[in-house]
Structure 1
């Protein structure tokens, strides 16, 4: 019988531990900032089978994946970046991991600071992107319908 090869249950790519039991393409989506399309592009850049199980891959293939994730920003067109024009520098960036949350928080704080409409909506905890608020998004004791009191008791 063929010897069953060992599987690594956690594979470290960047600053994230990925699930070794999943296929490469699905496991890469565990990195914040990597969706299904980005994961497919990264596997093709690394010349790795995207349907292979990540934990059963040899170390050379995993290293190619790591370098592909690091070089992803410089090898993609502008429309594929998750931050095509940075507010401060004006350059194209694709953020991964904790940088996504940090940058989002910085952007919200900037909107609050300059007192734009979106910043004020963020501050007050209301819907930001133009959704209806008459019947949804209610919090606190304002839930329900107020009826006019019928006089003459």
Structure 2
């Protein structure tokens, strides 16, 4: 082996354990799952059984460049994590801070147009149709609240009949 094994690999601003196999190491990056990582590795021609620390700096650079372009060549469109972007209309695959930024913008846009999902987001309630009667409680609401039963007044029984 001409190069030294790297026990910590820096990719996309985060440290990844170099002893992990390549697809699992790539899946540690936000926005890349195991299947997407396998597809990227297959496109670039790497062995999926290699450890992440065994890759050279140029190989890591190839992986980063492919993901930074937001379009992964050879990857089917249905595997992208952002289909038909609102602004550009293109299919994109976002990672790390880009993914968080776009998701936050989508939520803010829905709040602004006051869609059902936007209203639910702004109220801090469940958005995807889940039940809210017993779950999703936050704050002081704990347990079941019952209506108070009115005490019967005994005004008619205390009166003397005359």
Q: With the length of structure 1 as denominator, give the TM-score of the two structures.
A: 0.85
The 5 Å alignment of 1:55-134 reads 55-70=53-68, 73-75=71-73, 76-134=75-133
Q: Which runs of 5+ in 1 are unaligned?
A: none
Distance 2:26 2:148 in 1: 59
Distance 2:13 2:41 in 1: 18
Distance 1:56 1:74, change over 3 A: closer
- Using the TM superposition, name which of 121-130 and 135-144 deviates more: 135-144
RMSD between aligned residues:
2.3
Deviation at 1:58, TM superposition (A): 3.3
The alignment of Structure 1 onto Structure 2 pairs a total of residues equal to: 150
Q: Which runs of 5+ in 2 are unaligned?
A: 154-162
Q: With the length of structure 2 as denominator, give the TM-score of the two structures.
A: 0.81
Q: Give yes or no for contact 2:26–2:37 (8 Å, CA) kept in 1.
A: yes
Q: Give the secondary structure class of the aligned counterpart of 1:140.
A: coil
Distance 1:101 1:116, change over 3 A: same
- Using the TM superposition, name which of 106-115 and 64-73 deviates more: 64-73
Deviation at 1:148, TM superposition (A): 4.1
Distance 2:109 2:7 in 1: 40
Q: Give the secondary structure class of the aligned counterpart of 2:135.
A: coil
Distance 1:63 1:74, change over 3 A: closer
- The structure with the largest alpha-carbon Rg is 2
- Using the TM superposition, name which of 11-20 and 45-54 deviates more: 11-20
Once superposed, which parts of structure 1, at least 4 consecutive aligned residues long, lie more than 6 Å away? none
1:86-118 per-position Cα deviation (integer Å, ceiling 9, x unaligned): 012211111111000000010000001001110
